Amino acid sequence: DAGVTQSPTHLIKTRGQQVTLRCSPKSGHDTVSWYQQALGQGPQFIFQYYEEEERQRGNFPDRFSGHQFPNYSSELNVNALLLGDSALYLCASSLGGIGGREQYFGPGTRLTVT
Amino acid sequence: AQKVTQAQTEISVVEKEDVTLDCVYETRDTTYYLFWYKQPPSGELVFLIRRNSFDEQNEISGRYSWNFQKSTSSFNFTITASQVVDSAVYFCALSEWEGSQGNLIFGKGTKLSVKP
């Protein structure tokens, strides 16, 4: 049973550039959530996708955008990168797009902005 | 406002000691869920347990046990006879049925170091 996968594992970008991170949910899951985890902090919710639509959004600027495909995989795009965007980006999948369900996390993408 | 507080930043114990990780939460929802996740050095968050707000029954799973008390808004996690492999950062998280509509609100985590 395939778990949540993310690519790439690591990424180094320059300030002002754009980046795309990818996530494939756990088999059978249809909901994908993205979190940003700064060093030494807990994950912060960015947004959630269900049925190819953004259902909820955390307190992140419009530079952060996403997409969900018909096969439930998802992308996170960040434009005009800032040094403060350096973090571990975690993707989590769950079932049914409702609250209270367990979210299963991928290994994350470590983004470094220089 | 929703909030999860893990007051213990770091805990260090010697193998075979028992250790309790504290978690205090704030929410105005009557329906909510509480979670514990483990994050080993590899970085991947591993789901440990979920409890809903209507079930205050404590739970034991092997060396792990959880104490949920609505009266004190706490959901503490105890590891009995700790092992070196338990070394990780542990996160407590809250999911509200209405307020946050399911997304997870995490505490800042407690780093547990178990020394041989």
Mean pLDDT of A80-107: 90
Q: How does pLDDT run along chain B (116 residues), one tens digit per residue?
A: 789 999 999 999 999 999 999 999 999 988 899 999 999 988 889 999 989 898 888 888 899 999 999 999 999 999 999 999 999 999 999 998 766 666 899 999 999 999 99
CA-nearest residue to B36 within chain A is A102
Task: Please judge whether A43 and B45 are an interchain contact, meaning their C-beta atoms are less than 8 angstroms apart.
Answer: yes
| Chains A & B: contacts with CB separation below 8 Å | 72
| ω into A8 cis (within 30 of 0) | yes
Whether the Cβ atoms of residue A90 and residue A35 lie closer than 8 Å to each other: yes
User: Is B47's Cβ below 8 Å from some Cβ in A?
Assistant: yes
Whether the Cβ atoms of residue B94 and residue B104 lie closer than 8 Å to each other: yes
User: Which chain A residues have a beta carbon less than 8 Å from that of B96?
Assistant: 99
* Chain centroid offset of residue B65 CA: 10
User: Is B41's Cβ below 8 Å from some Cβ in A?
Assistant: no
Alpha helices in chain A (DSSP H): none
User: Is B107's Cβ below 8 Å from some Cβ in A?
Assistant: yes
Identify the band that residue A96 occupies on the pLDDT scale cut at 50, 70 and 90: confident
Q: Rounded CA gap, B42 and B44, in Å?
A: 6
Q: Rounded CA gap, B31 and A25, in Å?
A: 26
